[in-house]
Amino acid sequence: MKLTFQYVPSPDLSAAVAFYGEVLGLDEAWREDDGTVAFWAPDRSVQLMVATTDQPAGPMYLVDDAAAWAAAHAGVPVRVPSYPIPGGTVAGFADPNGNVFYVFDQRQRR
C-alpha cells in the first residue's frame, strides 16, 4: 500500500481550487473533466485530490489489485462500494473508529 492521495470532497470545486491554489499556494498536479483537481503536497510525496463527489474524505492507498486487497481483508468494513475510476477501481473502507480510507488500483494503465 502506498499513500498516494488525500481525498477531499467539495460541493464547490471553484472555491476549493481557489483556496488550495491561491490561498494555500499549492501547485496544481492535474485535472480530470470538470469534477476533480489534484494539488501537490509541498514535499510532493502525495497529492490532495479535490472532487465534487460526495464520498467521505480520507487517504487513498495505491495497491496492485484493489479486488485482491479487498478479498484478503474481508473483515475490514466497506464504507464505499467498489467503483471504476480512470485506469482502475477504488473502494472505501472503515478503520475501527469509523474513519474512511480508500484502496485503489491502476491495473488498466499498466
CATH number of the domain encompassing residue 20: 3.10.180.10
Local confidence band at 16 (pLDDT 50, 70, 90 cut-offs): very high
Question: How far is the C-alpha of 79 from the C-alpha of 70, rounded, in Å?
Answer: 12
* pLDDT, averaged across the chain: 95
Amino acid identity at 90: V
Task: Give phi and psi for 27, each to the nearest 5.
Answer: -85, 135
Total number of domains in the chain:
1
pLDDT confidence band for 106 (50 / 70 / 90): very high
Residues pairing with 92 in the sheet: 80, 102
Q: Report the amino acid identity of residue 30.
A: W
Give the structural domain span for 45: 2-109
Between CA 14 and CA 21 the distance in angstroms is 10
Q: How many residues does the chain have?
A: 110
State the pTM of this model.
0.91
* pLDDT surpassing 80 at residue 100: yes
High-pLDDT (> 70) share of the chain, %:
98
Write the pLDDT tens digit of every residue in 20-59: 999 999 999 999 988 999 999 999 999 999 999 889 999 9
